[in-house]
Amino acid sequence: MAERAMRAELLSGNVKVICAGLRSFLDDLRAQGVESVGMEFRPRAGGDAELLRRIERLRGWGRG
Amino acid sequence: MTATGMNTLGDRIERANAEAVAKLKAARPVWFDVAPAREAVPGMHDRLILHAGPPIAWARMCGPVRGAVAGALVYERLAKTVEEAYELAASGAIEFSPNHHHGGVGPMAGVTSASMWVFRVRNEAHGNTAFCNLNEGLGRVLRFGANDAGVIERLRWMETELAPALREAVRLREGGIDVKTLIANALHMGDECHNRNVAGTSLLLRELTPLLLSCGVARDAVRRIFDFISGNNHFFLNLAMAAAKSMADSIMGMPFCTIQSAMARNGTEIGIRVAGLGDRWFTAPAGNPKGLYFPGFDESHANPDLGDSTITETAGFGGFAMAAGPAITRFVGGRAADAVRFTREMGEITAGRHTDFTIPALDFQGVPLGVDIRRVVETGITPFINTGIAHKDPGVGQVGAGLLRAPLEIYRAALDAFDADHAGEA
C-alpha cells in the first residue's frame, strides 16, 4: 500500500522523464508537454544472444 | 592474466590490444623525402595504376576512379586522349592495385602512377615507411575524377617544379620534418587533419619557408610554390595521411589484436583490415554521404564514399577528433555541437585514447584511438567518416563534402573471421 501511495505521489507532481528506447515514447511525452530527455539505447549486439555469447568469449579481464 | 591465473583467449586479445594502442601512440612519423612513385613505391612499374580502397577491377570501378585512371594514363603519355585512355584501361594492358598493398594511401580516387611524386614518411619509432601522393587542391582535380587539360598541366607542374623543390627542401632538414608534432599542434588550432587542414598547411609552410629559400630553387619557382601551397588549405592532408599510414601499419599482423589497421573506400566498396587478421579485407557497398554541395549540385550527382583518407581516423585523428575542429561542420555539414558528440561517441568503440593528440575543448582529453571490432559489433556504433564528395560521372570533379557512417556488416564479417580463426581456443 505504501508503495502504491509513493507511486501516486511521484506522478502527482511535476513529472520529468528520462526515456530509453523507442523515439516515439519520447515524442508522445513531449507532445503532451511532459519535460523529457531521450537516452540513446540499443541492446548489446543488437539483441542477438548468440552473437553476444561469441563476443563474451573474446572478452578478457580488462574493459574490453 | 585473469585473477585465477588463466590465460584465456580474451586475456590474449586484451594484451594484444593494449600493446597495439601503445604502438599507435608511440609511432613517430617523420617526413624525410619526396620521390617519384617509380623510385619510392615497392612494385611500381609504368603500367601499374594504384587506387584507393580495397582491390577492384576496371569493370566495377566507379566514375570518378575511372576518370582519374584515364587522366593518369594521359599524364603518363600512355594514351593521347581521355577516350583512348578508357579503351586502354579496359583492354587489360594496365594493372590496377590498391595503394594499401604497396605501403601507401591516396585521398579520394587515390590514383598514383609511376611519374607522380609521393611524400615519404618514416615511422621512427618502429622503422616502417609509408607514402602518399601530393595534394592538387580542390574542385577540378584528378583525385575527384577530373581529367581535363588543366588537371594534366597541374600534375606536370607538380612533377617538374613543385615536387623536386620539396625534395631539395626537406633533405636540407637533418632528421626530417616531424609530422606528429605538426598534427598535434594543428589539432590545437582548429583542424581535425582530415577535412580541415588550414592550420596544418600553415604550420607546414612555416617549416618549409626557410628550407625553400635556402635550397637553391629559383626565386620565381619558390614564389609559385608558396602561392600554390598557401592557396590550398588541404595541402597538409596528404602528408598527414602518409603519417597515419606509417602509424597504422605498425600494428598490422599483430596476433590476437582486434583493432582496425585500415579503412578505405574505392567508391564502389568500403573495406577494413584488422591487425590480427593480416592483410584480409572485409568489404561492403560504399555508403552515400549526407553533406553540403557546391552551387548547382545535389545528392543526385554524388558518387558513393571514396578514398583512403579514413586512415586518419584509424590512426587517432581526423573525424574522431572533430571536437577539435568544430569549424569543419561548415564544410561537411552538421552543427558545432555535433562535432563534440561525434568525438565522444567514437570513445565508445575505441580501445584507448591518444596521449599526444589531444582536444583543448574537451579539457585536453585524448582523441579516441584504436577501433575495436568487438566494441563496434557489441554497441552497434560504427565509425563516423567525414569526406569530400566526388561527382559520380568521370571527368567532373568535386561537388561537395559530407558525413556518413561505416556499415556495421564489415565489422560483423571481421568478427566472424576472427572468431573462426580462433575456433576451439578457450
Residue A17 cell numbers, joined: 522523464
Q: How far apart are the first and last CA of chain B?
A: 13
Our CA-based measurement puts residue B2 at a distance from the nearest CA of chain A, in whole angstroms, of 6
DSSP, res B285: E
State the Cα torsion B83-B400-B189-B205 to the nearest 10°.
Answer: 20
> CA–CA separation, B90 vs B151, rounded Å?
22
Sequence-separated (6 or more) residues with CB below 8 Å from residue A34: A15, A16, A17
Instruction: Flag whether pLDDT at B2 surpasses 70.
Output: no
Output the pLDDT for position B31: 98
Contact B2 A57 (CB under 8 A): no
Disruptive mutation site among A39, A40, A54, A58 for chain B (greatest number of B CBs within 10 Å): A58
Instruction: Flag whether pLDDT at B1 surpasses 60.
Output: no
CB < 8 Å to A61, chain B: 1-3, 10-11, 14
Which of B2, B375, B379 lies nearest to residue A61, judging by beta carbons? B2
pLDDT digits (tens, 9 = 90+) for B152-192: 999 999 999 999 999 999 999 999 999 999 999 999 999 99
Instruction: Flag whether pLDDT at A6 surpasses 70.
Output: yes
Over residues B351-357, mean pLDDT: 98
Helix/strand/coil (H, E, C) string of B206-256? HHHHHHHHHCCCCHHHHHHHHHHHHCCCCHHHHHHHHHHHHHHHHHCCCCC
CB < 8 Å to A60, chain B: 2, 8-15
CB < 8 Å to A45, chain B: 377-378, 380
CA angle B352, A63, B7 (to 5 degrees): 110
Of B165, B199, B142, B164, residue with least CA distance to B396: B142
Q: Is the ipTM of this complex over 0.85?
A: no
Instruction: Flag whether pLDDT at A25 surpasses 90.
Output: no
CB < 8 Å to A44, chain B: 378-379
Output the pLDDT for position A61: 58
Q: What percent of chain B has pLDDT over 90?
A: 94
> CA–CA separation, A9 vs B15, rounded Å?
52
Q: What does the mean pLDDT of chain B come to? A: 96
Give the sign of the dihedral formed by CA B166, CA B171, CA B173, CA B178. Answer: positive
Instruction: Flag whether pLDDT at A41 surpasses 90.
Output: no
DSSP, res B101: G
- Please answer whether residues B348 and B381 qualify as being in contact, where contact means their C-beta atoms are separated by less than 8 angstroms: yes
Q: How many CB atoms lie within 10 A of CB A61?
A: 14
**CB burial of residue B336 (10 Å; 0-12, 13-18, 19+):** middle
Which of B2, B258, B351 lies nearest to residue A58, judging by beta carbons? B258
> CA–CA separation, B65 vs B146, rounded Å?
9
Of B326, B316, B329, residue with least CA distance to B402: B329
Give the sign of the dihedral formed by CA B72, CA B75, CA B76, CA B78. Answer: positive
Taking the Cβ of residue B344 and every Cβ of chain A, the question of whether any pair is shorter than 8 Å is answered with no
Our CA-based measurement puts residue A20 at a distance from the nearest CA of chain B, in whole angstroms, of 15
CB < 8 Å to A51, chain B: 377
Over residues B364-371, mean pLDDT: 98
Q: Which residue has the cell 584465456?
A: B8
Instruction: Flag whether pLDDT at B4 surpasses 80.
Output: no
Q: Which residue of A has its CA nearest to B375?
A: A64
Backbone angles phi, psi at B147, to 5 degrees: -150, 25
Q: Which residue of A has its CA nearest to B259?
A: A64
pLDDT digits (tens, 9 = 90+) for B381-412: 999 998 999 999 998 999 999 999 999 999 99
Output the pLDDT for position A64: 46
pLDDT digits (tens, 9 = 90+) for B75-115: 999 999 999 999 999 999 999 999 999 999 999 999 999 99
CA angle B344, B319, B179 (to 5 degrees): 115
Residue A24 cell numbers, joined: 516515439
Taking the Cβ of residue B342 and every Cβ of chain A, the question of whether any pair is shorter than 8 Å is answered with no
Output the pLDDT for position B6: 61
Output the pLDDT for position B98: 98
Which of B17, B379, B415 lies nearest to residue A64, judging by beta carbons? B17
- Please answer whether residues B332 and B403 qualify as being in contact, where contact means their C-beta atoms are separated by less than 8 angstroms: yes
Name residue B373's beta-bridge partners: none
- Please answer whether residues B236 and B201 qualify as being in contact, where contact means their C-beta atoms are separated by less than 8 angstroms: yes
- Please answer whether residues B353 and B369 qualify as being in contact, where contact means their C-beta atoms are separated by less than 8 angstroms: yes
Output the pLDDT for position B5: 54
Contact B2 A45 (CB under 8 A): no
Our CA-based measurement puts residue A43 at a distance from the nearest CA of chain B, in whole angstroms, of 8
- Count of residues in chain B: 426
> CA–CA separation, B65 vs B71, rounded Å?
10
Q: Which residue of A has its CA nearest to B258?
A: A58
Contact B374 A55 (CB under 8 A): yes
- pLDDT bin (cut points 50, 70, 90) of residue A20 is confident
**Start-end of H helices in B42-141:** 63-75, 82-90
pLDDT digits (tens, 9 = 90+) for B290-334: 999 999 999 999 999 999 999 999 999 999 999 999 998 888 888
Taking the Cβ of residue B405 and every Cβ of chain A, the question of whether any pair is shorter than 8 Å is answered with no
Taking the Cβ of residue B18 and every Cβ of chain A, the question of whether any pair is shorter than 8 Å is answered with yes
Over residues B115-132, mean pLDDT: 98
Sequence-separated (6 or more) residues with CB below 8 Å from residue B205: B226, B229, B230
> CA–CA separation, A30 vs A49, rounded Å?
33
pLDDT digits (tens, 9 = 90+) for B249-266: 999 999 999 999 999 999
Instruction: Flag whether pLDDT at B216 surpasses 80.
Output: yes
3-class state of residue B25 by DSSP: helix
Contact A44 B378 (CB under 8 A): yes
A interface residues, B as partner, C-beta within 8 Å:
42, 44-46, 51-52, 54-55, 57-62, 64
Instruction: Flag whether pLDDT at A22 surpasses 90.
Output: no
Of B58, B80, B86, residue with least CA distance to B149: B80
